[in-house]
A and B are shown apart, each in its own frame.
Chain A
């Protein structure tokens, strides 16, 4: 009945057999699972179709994507209806070829392009972030935001109703004002006691009979949270209390109640009194998954601040700061730009924070603010090219990051539609490069030291022109126009959903 939103217990065990030996586990083997909106060769991508947000819900039964055209598309899992059976399979034999499968569920237009007349600004409809909220009564709830406005959506299966019996037939209802004679006669069979009411009611009155055959999914906008941000919203995040959420823009973080759309509280404000003194902006913010009073936000200077909402109403002073000080000699013009954090994510247990800056993924332990516990180089071969990347603005691309539900792997995207998965467990050397295509491991064959390239890369070079595609001395090619910015890891299984332009690729391991 409510199979769609079965809440599963968190899978505590790593999905691979928890081996008693301390040796690092084998790297995950990623396989292609599905693709939605695959582009056929030579087809041009419409800008509005480009995916700009991906989010799994808490149980992993649902997946939502948002695009630049302001649409939200929902997918639901189809391969497991019976969760008990699935767990059985998981425990019994890992290698059982179970193929996680999602299907298109519905889509709706979440945001429309707008114009702010006071500021003469166009407001794009592009969906910046989507967050799932607590499901109830078989309906899904989610928040979606563009640069300025957050909307709270309810998606529910609705019966299509048809009213079949009426007192007044529609043809003569307004005309002669008499209860339709035919209907009245025919109705006596329908009345429980032959149309005679003992207590003096009017026997001729009948209640409308409603028949419903089919059901359809309908998305309704329940609330609109707006007029609280002067700058562009970069993140929204739900609190574990189930009633509040935050929205963050470049300079401020506001706290909202899901039920109250006409007021919000400013909890962090980094705007200096004189805008010329501005040196740092907020790039991302997220609530702790279980501690209702802890909030983390990242900055363009590469620091992550932890805020304790209990301490005061205005949390301009942080309770903890995580930053890594660059070695003094290595500073260059780009140091500060590439240090900017584009995304942060708490681990499922809230113990770690994963951050992505332009060149690296960093994993932080919230009990250790002296430096990250692990740093993963995402695309080190681009370091000599920073100057080019700066000139064509690619250096400001905002890549997202994600962590597996068990916290043993982390992943993030790069150029040429590739994404990388690293093992973050102790001693793990896992570092996989995957390409968002039907054949994700094709890239791995291509050893960085070997100058061989697959034909498709060559053709792409031809098609797109050379200025955005480069080949470095080692033969690594990178195509700056195809960047994989958005990806999400299933909350309890090794399933990754990632966006390559307008296509949604799903992989499993």
Chain B
């Protein structure tokens, strides 16, 4: 009996806590519903636990959400697929609550369970759920029903199929826009299960209604339906039925609908096939690129590279490039920024000659844009152009752009350009870097903003990794070490940080010969902050340096610091000494 108790006790608590006043405890119990179910056994789970859950569904959203999720994977605990239908009832009620995320989860779980159920069980149990929800008194139930038709339909006998199609059609004309939106966004999924013959007639007429809905929010969801339905229809039907809709949508009165088209255009082209896209969708796309509304142009500009990939270079140059040129001097900085983030990708599509002739001037003008984000976006994708035309043609304009960004008055802009310096260095090569960018990298070490100084130190490390220790020895180390004499202690601290970052890259010898003396020297600094940072840096260097050096140079220095009048200096010195000892011991 004692062992029994020990076994039961934790589960008994879990069960009791299903109804605890504390929501955290209830949540905990719900999340471990499978443990409870296992303890109860399959039969009692079916006969007691599931009805219990069905009845107690007025809990808080978090608990309901967890319950909806758990029930989706509950089939093993109720006795396998034959008994799966008992799970439908609690999920059906969860499908009617007003919180969207709970309903969505319940629908997801219903789909998961329905997908495993036997065909006969679907007809006996699942389809009635669909029909009840679709006829629900409140819109929440009807909204949920739209998401489970595609599970029910394939298993239904012909007569039921016809009924389901009719019901779906009614949902698409529901009084509540919420229901029509759910029907519109699930139409693709449902249509994928419907037979070709009904697709062309029934589903297409439903779809046509949705595309002419009064509510903008319904129409813009129908845009997604275009892509989904287009893929299901045979090519000629797609051209006959879907293409005109897309073209209409691209001229919709509502900018939100046009925005959706601009965002989805690539998928729509895929559905329509390349040939028809070229013929019908290029004009539509050109219109969107020249739309009145900046939001639409932003979406369209962001797709320019992707769209050009499905066109011939010739067509891209003829039709799209003129628009791109216009966009590069668009009045909205966000449009230019969106364009700048993708335009470099057009280079491989257009090929070398066209890039030099047509794209390069656009790159150059964007590099001179007044809005830093635009310039940054161009610089961040430099590698894509480099592969096609080489960097030389750009380097002339690149440098002023980089310098200007490097000195931008917003530190976030400066930070962004520092992040790209290693990429630039690798693309531009050592020579260019030495000439032009080296000085900038040093200048950042003395920036007024800490984040910039920190990034500058990190940047040096990444450069040393890129070009190797030898190069670093020649070009970086001397200039960094010079700065240790900077009158400002914050700057000297940055140098110490740079040393600790560079040391692992440079290796033991250089560290010992060049870096260590500087650090040791700094231990005599008059500012305590520098001194305890010396202690910290020494601690990191211990693992790199030779043991004898540690004994001879590092330790005496730390011992001296450990007797410093400043309490923080003593603290960090002692920490470093302890670290030394540990490393000695282990080796």
Contacts and interface: CB of A to CB of B under 8 A. Distances in A.
B40 A259 contact: no
B383 interface: no
Interface string A169-208: 0000100011100000000000011000111111011111
Contacts of A177: 5, 9
A472 to B, nearest CB: 51
B19 A199 contact: no
B508 to A, nearest CB: 52
B39 A202 contact: yes
Given A310-B256, A313-B295, A208 B16 contact: yes
Given A313-B255, A313-B294, A242 B4 contact: no
B371 interface: no
A313 B255 CA distance: 8
Determine which residue in B38, B215, B254 has the highest number of CB atoms from chain A within 10 A of its CB, and name it. B215
Given A136-B140, A310-B253, A205 B8 contact: yes
Interface in B282-310: 292-295
Nearest to B179: A242
Contact of B98 (A139, A291, A293): A139
Interface string B166-198: 000000000011100100000000000000000
Interface string A338-355: 000000000000000000
A97 interface: no
A243 B177 contact: yes
A179 B8 contact: yes
A77 B267 CA distance: 52
Interface string A120-138: 0000000000000011111
A137 B15 CA distance: 28
B568 interface: no
Interface stretch (B49-57, B444-452, B482-490, B527-535): B49-57
A135 to B, nearest CB: 8
B217 A201 contact: no
A173 B140 CA distance: 41
A167 B49 CA distance: 14
A154 B255 CA distance: 33
Contacts of B39: 201-202, 205
A241 B47 contact: no
A209 B183 CA distance: 39
B193 to A, nearest CB: 28
A455 interface: no
A208 B15 CA distance: 7
Nearest to B294: A313
B11 interface: yes
A158 B138 CA distance: 18
A159 B98 CA distance: 18
Contacts of A207: 15, 18, 48-49, 52
A205 B48 CA distance: 11
Nearest to A290: B214
B404 to A, nearest CB: 27
- Place the interface of chain A in its size category: 35 or more
B42 interface: yes
A167 B214 CA distance: 57
Contacts of B58: 158-159
Interface string A227-251: 0000000000000111110000000
Contacts of A389: none
A46 interface: no
Interface in A249-307: 259, 290-293
B319 interface: no
Contact of A241 (B13, B177, B294): B177
Contacts of B215: 240-241, 292
A242 B253 CA distance: 21
Contacts of B11: 202, 205
B44 interface: yes
A312 B255 contact: yes
Given A240-B177, A240-B215, A137 B96 contact: yes
B381 to A, nearest CB: 27
- Place the interface of chain B in its size category: 35 or more
Nearest to B13: A168
By secondary structure, the A interface counts as: loop
A358 B481 CA distance: 77
B40 A201 contact: yes
A197 B40 contact: yes
B19 A163 contact: yes
Contacts of B41: 197-202
B394 interface: no
A2 B136 CA distance: 13
Contact of B178 (A163, A208, A242): A242
A154 B18 contact: no
Given A163-B19, A167-B15, A207-B48, A137 B178 contact: no
Given A154-B98, A205-B12, A243-B177, A137 B19 contact: no
Contacts of B13: 167-168
Determine which residue in B12, B42, B55, B217 has the highest number of CB atoms from chain A within 10 A of its CB, and name it. B12
Nearest to A291: B214
A234 B79 CA distance: 59
Determine which residue in A138, A159, A310 has the highest number of CB atoms from chain B within 10 A of its CB, and name it. A310
A192 B48 CA distance: 9
B56 to A, nearest CB: 6
A163 B58 CA distance: 14
B363 interface: no
A73 interface: no
A312 B100 CA distance: 29
Given A205-B12, A313-B294, A243 B4 contact: no
B43 interface: yes
Nearest to B252: A310
B15 A206 contact: yes
B216 interface: yes
B22 interface: no
Contact of B40 (A139, A166, A205): A205
B15 A292 contact: no
Contacts of A159: 58
A210 interface: yes
A137 B138 contact: yes
B255 A310 contact: yes
Contact of A293 (B7, B55, B254): B254
A141 B49 CA distance: 32
B249 interface: no
Contacts of A134: 139, 176, 178
A312 B44 contact: no
B216 A136 contact: no
A166 B12 CA distance: 9
A301 B139 CA distance: 42
A292 B13 CA distance: 52
B40 A137 contact: no
Contact of A198 (B43, B177, B255): B43
A170 to B, nearest CB: 9
B63 interface: no
Contact of B12 (A154, A168, A241, A293): A168
Interface of A: 2, 134-139, 141, 154, 158-159, 161, 163, 166-168, 173, 177-179, 192-193, 197-202, 204-208, 210, 240-244, 259, 290-293, 309-313
13 contacts: A136-B98, A136-B138, A141-B98, A166-B16, A179-B8, A192-B44, A192-B48, A199-B79, A207-B15, A208-B52, A243-B181, A292-B216, A312-B294
Going nearest first, the 9 A-B pairs with the smallest beta carbon separation are A201-B41, A167-B12, A310-B254, A199-B41, A197-B41, A208-B19, A136-B138, A201-B40, A163-B19
Given A201-B38, A313-B294, 20 more contacts: A136-B139, A137-B96, A166-B16, A167-B16, A168-B16, A178-B9, A179-B9, A192-B48, A197-B41, A201-B40, A201-B41, A201-B45, A202-B8, A205-B15, A208-B15, A208-B52, A241-B215, A243-B217, A293-B216, A311-B292
Interface of B: 4-5, 7-9, 11-13, 15-16, 18-19, 36, 38-45, 47-49, 52, 55-56, 58, 79, 96-98, 100, 137-140, 176-178, 181, 214-217, 253-256, 292-295
